């Protein structure tokens, strides 16, 4: 009985805790994946990453303004439910949350499914990883949002076919910034196979990371395997 009372007190305290949740009101949206609450706390949505628009010394990335404006229209002034995973805060003291509107809309998933964000799952916060992967796969297949930019840029790409491949690699490397301490890339191929690539391996540079891991054991625990060759 005493344990039940203590658990109930924790659940109703409204304080961020692992696997808990809280109600809050959005004061303003910072960019596509980050916003501020009325109490001044910043929230970073888990599992996805929108193109940069406000990062210091970093140019506005393609489709960044569209993603930021979409999130502003969706969240500004709204009462939301924040659900936490294993880590309620990141190293910048921002809340890490899955965000739900009062009508049940899962905002993180919607941004990925509508093509405003790429998935960026960082262990141990992986509760919705499979859902996000499915949502991104659908967005890619339908050429939604930022995925449609690839078709628009095909003509420009053909003009650059004769440029050294080194330039292409450098551009890819600049676009992919791994989380601190997590350098192993996790990727899901067209067959749905989950494969991880360690730095220095044959396919590492060409691989688009859908998840990042610190160790091979961490990748394997998430259901990824090493390349067969």
- 169 shares a domain with 151: no
Active-site positions? 44, 52, 94
Same domain, 171 and 146: no
Q: Give me the DSSP letters along 125-186.
A: --TTHHHHHHHHHHHHHTT-GGGGHHHHTHHHHHHTTTS-HHHHHHHHHHH--PPTT--EEE
pLDDT digits (tens, 9 = 90+) for 147-184: 998 655 554 555 555 555 444 444 444 445 778 788 89
User: 105, 138, 158: which is the final residue of a domain?
Assistant: 158
Residues 54 and 76 grouped into a single domain: yes
Examine the domain organization and report whether 64 and 168 are in the same domain.
Answer: no
Note the pTM of the prediction, 2 decimals.
Answer: 0.66
Q: Point out the domain boundary residue: 158, 193, 212.
A: 158
User: Hey, what are 125's tokens?
Assistant: 């916060």
Burial 74-84 (b: 16+ CB within 10 A, else e): bbeebebebbb
Residue 33: inside a domain, yes or no? Answer: yes
Number of domains in the chain: 2
In tens, the pLDDT along 136-145 reads 999 999 999 9
pLDDT (tens, 9 = 90+) of the chain, 229 residues, equals 444 434 443 444 468 999 999 999 999 999 999 999 999 999 999 999 999 887 776 777 888 999 999 999 999 999 999 999 999 999 999 999 999 999 999 999 999 999 999 999 899 999 999 999 999 999 999 999 999 986 555 545 555 555 554 444 444 444 457 787 888 998 888 777 888 888 888 888 888 888 888 888 888 878 888 988 6
Q: Specify whether 77 is located in the same domain as 152.
A: yes
Residues 142 and 53 in one domain: yes
Distance CA 8, CA 105 (A): 26
33 and 142 belong to one structural domain: yes
Domain range for 84: 20-158
């Amino acid at each position: 009985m005493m344990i039940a009372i203590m658990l109930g007190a924790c659940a109703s305290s409204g304080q961020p805790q692992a696997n808990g949740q809280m109600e809050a009101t959005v004061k303003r949206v910072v960019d596509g994946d980050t916003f501020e609450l009325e109490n001044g706390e910043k929230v970073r949505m888990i599992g996805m990453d929108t193109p940069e628009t406000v990062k210091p010394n970093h140019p506005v990335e393609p489709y960044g303004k569209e993603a930021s404006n979409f999130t502003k229209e969706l969240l500004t002034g709204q009462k939301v439910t924040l659900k936490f995973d294993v880590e309620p805060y990141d190293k910048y003291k921002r809340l890490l949350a899955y965000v739900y509107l009062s009508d049940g809309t899962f905002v993180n998933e919607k941004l990925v499914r509508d093509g405003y964000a790429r998935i960026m799952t960082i262990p141990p916060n992986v509760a919705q990883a499979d859902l996000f992967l499915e949502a991104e796969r659908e967005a890619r297949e339908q050429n939604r949002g930022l995925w449609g930019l690839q078709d628009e840029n095909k003509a420009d790409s053909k003009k650059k076919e004769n440029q050294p491949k080194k330039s292409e690699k450098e551009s890819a490397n600049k676009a992919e910034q791994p989380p601190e301490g997590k350098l192993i890339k996790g990727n899901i191929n067209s067959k749905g196979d989950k494969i991880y690539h360690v730095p220095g391996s044959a396919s590492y540079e060409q691989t688009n990371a859908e998840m990042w891991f610190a160790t091979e054991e961490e990748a394997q625990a998430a259901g990824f395997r090493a390349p067969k060759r």
